[in-house]
Amino acid sequence: MTAVTAGLLAQGMLALIAAVLAFSVPPRVRSVVGGTLCALTAGAGVITGALVLVGGHGNVTLVLALPVDPLILASSRLGGLFMVVISAVGVLVSVYGIRYAHGAAASRTSWAALAAFLLGMQLVPAAGNSLTFLLMWETMAAASTVLLLADHAHRHQVSSAAIWYSAMSQLSFLLLLAGFGVLGAAGVTTFSASGASVSTTPAAGLAFVLLIIGFGSKAGLVPVHVWLPRAHPQAPSHISAAMSAAMVSVGAYGALLVCTRLLPGGPPWWGVLLMVFGGVSAVYGILQASVTSNIKVLLAHSTTENMGLVFLAVGASVLLRSYHATAAADAALLAALLLLISHALFKATLFLGAGAIQHATGEIDLDRLGGLLRRMPWTAATFGVAALAAAALPVTSGFVAEWTLLQALIHGSRLGGTPVAVVVSVAMPLAVAVVALTAGLALLTFVKSYGIAFLARPRTAQPAATEVPIGMRIPMVLGALAVLAVGVLPGPVAEMAASVLPATRAPFLHTIGLGGISIPSIGVVLDPAALVVLAAAIAVPVAMIVRILSRRHPTRMTALPWGGGGSRARPRMQYTATSYAEPLVRVFDDVLKPSRDVQVTHAGESRYLVERVQVEQRMADVVETRLYRPVLNAAQRFGVLARHAQNGRIQQYLAYSFVALLVVLVVVAV
């Protein structure tokens, strides 16, 4: 038995023990036992994935008593990387949940479901064939549905969100089942076999479309994203972190599995489809995030944006590789992996921070928050670092990932002075524009979220918020430190990600300096640590000079001359999250389609004296209202009509059976 095999078995055994003990230990120690065992399960996943990344091999085969293929767990390097990322998030959320989980979220069912959820997510990248993949996928989906339903008895919105989530999960499963079925008919039955020989056939194109839409649904891409903003606000925050930082990564893993192993070397239109799918999702997701005031809904839409960028990068890689621009294609694929790693780190930290805010204040609406910087300094610091990464600002993991993507797109349209192709020359600049637009909107979004929640004055009377317990702070601090580590020293992580790229030639990435990266094939270099040292060398002397001069010439001011610089400002005079985003709403009015309701209360009988003006603005998801609502309404009308067929008359039922039998016989005969 190899170490990898032992690690795969250990994950299953630890998850089973966690589920059993969740139902048997007393309530007072259930969270400690459940959280610890779930963290150990995820820790085993980190170790197993790391062993695979350094060249370890091993598999687990379970022969079933049914006439189907056996269950096979045999992770590749790509699967090992995803197992490390997903399991690392699992460790953070499990430790966080020990102190955070309470009420229904700390029940026996919830802790057992969390163990199954983590196991399913960790073993999806280790699946060796489609049957194992779908079994682990459905385990992940079913367990996450149970976790989402934790508080359904107390909040009616939970049930509605769970229905949407279950429906989209089953749609994803059916699409994957159909896609793998088409691949099986074409001769691709295991993940170790390449379907390069059939990539140009119509069957491969059909399988590609089915699988990409199925994986895109789990990744939260438009238009199959509608479950994200519904499920995340209703789930416990540590579960939201696991779903948004880890589970959506499984959807991206599926897309990479299709494009790099199952159907490599696809035609150019595959890449164009992926780029359109991802680009639309990125812009639409960040637009929705920028105008919402609910922190969890904001982060959910931000997930759509980040996964859109990942699919955009994968699509650029497929398109460039189809025109033999291999260097830029590898850089785009590396960018997709760095985006996934970065997103897992900062999105987990952001959701855990949102949970800390909700735990301390009972609120997640930015319009009702403010002044948390002094009350919750640890949460403010970690949330701020993660927000910087989400906005792709320097010395964070988000900046490194988006910088790599931009370099791949810029150098992809023209390598060595030779035009690659017209479609590439058009697609790459458009993709650069999409990345630039999303980066700008992301900056606005997270300036709003951090500034309103932590820096502004509270607009409503709230109980004095206090910092969360240390058991909740540690995972947030670890997540923020990881974001900074990848941002300042990206070399080791980039090398690890580059090691899983298709081994078509020698590695194209090198670590330079203090931990920077160099991609000689496209002629780009990034060394954030050197930039930090240079900035410190300039800033420290300037700060010292300013401090010395301020001591020699102190300035004293007891009161502001006019009192208008903030001394008399009331909380209601400052921006809210809604008013901050109002100019953006007006610019993108045709896309967002807001609905406004203005109520004016006059003073007495006067037509001119106004006592109060109340403005209510609602943002509906255009995709949901224009696409899903008409379909659901049509289905409901059909259901009403179908009720007439069930009238209790046995003669009519026999006639139905007779007609159905005739139809079956005709079909069989034809």
Answering whether pTM is above 0.75, one says yes
Residue with tokens 């899903």: 628
Residue 92 and residue 478 in contact, taking contact as beta carbons nearer than 8 Å: yes
d(CA 133, CA 59): 14
- Residue 384: burial class (beta carbons within 10 Å; 0-12, 13-18, 19+): middle
Give residue 640's pLDDT: 81
Give residue 504's pLDDT: 47
Both ends of the chain: CA-CA distance in Å? Answer: 54
d(CA 355, CA 361): 10
pLDDT digits (tens, 9 = 90+) for 109-146: 999 999 999 999 999 999 988 899 999 999 999 999 99
Give residue 490's pLDDT: 92
Residue 95 and residue 157 in contact, taking contact as beta carbons nearer than 8 Å: no
Using alpha carbons only, what angle is made at residue 105 by residues 102 and 109, rounded to the nearest 5 degrees? 130
- Residue 61: in which H helix or E strand, if any? strand 60-62
d(CA 103, CA 659): 54
> In this structure, what is the dihedral angle of CA atoms 318, 320, 324, 327, given to the nearest 10 degrees?
-100
d(CA 366, CA 519): 42
> In this structure, what is the dihedral angle of CA atoms 251, 253, 255, 257, given to the nearest 10 degrees?
-140
Give which of 357, 363, 359, 348 is closest to 99, Cα–Cα.
Answer: 359
The length of the chain, given as a count of residues: 670
Residue 387 and residue 450 in contact, taking contact as beta carbons nearer than 8 Å: yes
Take residue 362 and report the two structure tokens written for it: 């009972």
Give residue 434's pLDDT: 95
Residue 375's SS3 state is: helix
Residue with tokens 């164009």: 272
Residues of the chain short of pLDDT 70, as ranges, are: 193-197, 414-420, 460-463, 503-507, 554-572
